[in-house]
Amino acid sequence: MVNRGGTCVRRTQVGIVGAGPAGLFLAHLLHRQGIESVIVENRSRAEIEGTIRAGVLEQWTVDLMNEMGLGARMMREAHFHSGITLRFNGDSHHIDMEGLTGGKRVTVYAQHEVIRDLVAARLEDGGEIVFNVGETSLHDLDTDRPKIRYRCGKDGEVEEIHCDFIAGCDGFHGPSRAAIPAAVRTDYQKVYPFGWLGILTEAPPSHPELIYANHERGFALLSTRSPEIQRLYIQCDPKDDIAHWSDDRIWSELHARLATKGGWSLTEGPIFQKGIIAMRSFVCDPMQRGRLFIAGDAAHIVPPTGAKGLNLAVADVVVLSRGLVDHYRSGRLERLEQYSATALRRIWKAERFSWYMTTMLHRNEAETPFEQRIHLADLDYVVHSHAAATALAENYVGLPID
């Protein structure tokens, strides 16, 4: 590192903004190919590893983690399900995803656990993550020497990373997407009229796989974290105050929405975390400007119903890493120039599937009774048609990367 006019400057091949799944996976993919990178992150290691987020991994994501030597703890601690249960009109229907997709499974492994594994492996490999940076900005993106400028902590010195390329993996509110001028990009967005109230509870599993329920009172989802901790969600008004939801009210709604004609029962336990999240879809096109490439939540958001968020971020950086490797091996830029178009093909398929699952399973007060019956008919078709069930299963366990 050198000091130029009071600014500390370092050099790397790829500068990565953000230590979420996209940024960490990209760093590992590049490291395997001998390409240097530095990650800058505005939060602390404890914050990124301690932000609890659910996660369902597509089969190819699981395979990739194992191939990269990152999956040992996942294979010990994750939950591997043969499928999911769709519940509506009081009846349960198992979708045998493993059978419908030639052996691909549903892997439940929380996103923050993935991040813990990736951070530990990155640091063990000697890779650099600069935590707690502030005032991050991007410069000279249309040149062959783009720069990441940041402050070390809130009041520390200004530092710069001079690099060949920048990967903006800094989430929806980071500076990377904003560095693509609004005049040259199109932002596609849909805001849904409902949110999810999620809880974590100390209780044993009530069911061996995820349950997605369409009920006249609203959607519900039963998931899991561990043999002792379960995660559950109910549809609610996204503007509601969590203070209005006592534990008794939450359990009452969960019992009602997950009830079956067969007498299945939900196991309760102490609730130790609860909160409300809004639901939306978002896509930025294009996902690149000059030597800047954005990935993950910086480029797109999907509602969690389709379990696509983390997997889509990883798919982005797999495509990006291939372009970078091609450039460093051959000097060609063609794959990098096609990054956005290639990534967006898969992104829009994931957006479609997430929208489909969300609209089919939720109750929207703005919809007519006719539209609500259409959604129930769609569910009935899925559980009684091999072709429809196969299409759902293929999308859920993960489409191939182009």
pLDDT > 90? residue 8:
no
Question: Encoding tokens for residue 251?
Answer: 């359990």
Q: Which residues lie across from 91 on neighbouring strands?
A: 88
Tell me, yes or no, whether 122 and 139 share the same domain.
Answer: yes
The verdict on whether 81 is a catalytic residue reads yes
pLDDT > 70? residue 2:
no
The tens digit of pLDDT for each residue in 317-339 reads 999 999 999 999 999 999 999 99
pLDDT > 60? residue 6:
no
Tell me, yes or no, whether 234 and 276 share the same domain.
Answer: yes
Residue 234: enclosing H or E segment and its boundaries?
strand 229-236
Q: What is the structure's pLDDT at 4?
A: 60
The verdict on whether 147 is a catalytic residue reads no
Alpha-carbon distances, residue 304 vs 69, 198, 395, 402 (angstroms): 27, 12, 14, 23
Q: Which residue, among 201, 234, 237, 192, has the nearest Cα to 355 in the 3D structure?
A: 192
pLDDT band with cut points at 50, 70 and 90 for residue 308: very high
Q: How many CA atoms lie within 13 A of 272 on its CB side?
A: 9
Give the position of tokens 């983390």. 310
The verdict on whether 188 is a catalytic residue reads no
The verdict on whether 212 is a catalytic residue reads yes
The residue annotated as part of the active site, out of 109, 150, 192, 212, is 212
What lies within 8 Å, CB to CB, of 272 at 6+ separation is 200, 201, 202
Q: Return the SS3 of 112.
A: helix
Q: What is the structure's pLDDT at 148?
A: 97
Q: Count the domains in the chain.
A: 2
The residue annotated as part of the active site, out of 81, 215, 300, 375, is 81
CA gap 234, 228 in Å, rounded: 20
The residue annotated as part of the active site, out of 109, 150, 192, 396, is 396
The residue annotated as part of the active site, out of 28, 304, 362, 375, is 304
Tell me, yes or no, whether 138 and 211 share the same domain.
Answer: no
Residue 135: enclosing H or E segment and its boundaries?
strand 133-139
Tell me, yes or no, whether 180 and 42 share the same domain.
Answer: yes
CA gap 391, 399 in Å, rounded: 10
Alpha-carbon distances, residue 244 vs 219, 238, 397 (angstroms): 18, 13, 36
The verdict on whether 356 is a catalytic residue reads no
The tens digit of pLDDT for each residue in 151-189 reads 986 678 899 999 999 999 999 999 999 999 999 999 999
Tell me, yes or no, whether 197 and 172 share the same domain.
Answer: no
Per the CB < 8 A criterion, the answer to whether 247 and 204 are in contact is no
Whether 289 is covered by a domain: the verdict is yes
CATH assignment at residue 374 = 3.30.9.10
Whether 158 is covered by a domain: the verdict is yes
Cis peptide bond prior to 181, omega within 30° of 0: no
Q: What's the pTM value of the predicted model, to 2 decimals?
A: 0.95
Question: Encoding tokens for residue 271?
Answer: 């609730």
DSSP class of residue 170?
Answer: S
Tell me, yes or no, whether 319 and 289 share the same domain.
Answer: yes
Whether 203 is covered by a domain: the verdict is yes
Whether 296 is covered by a domain: the verdict is yes
Q: Residue 386 is part of which domain span?
A: 81-106+192-280+363-397
Q: Return the SS3 of 393.
A: helix
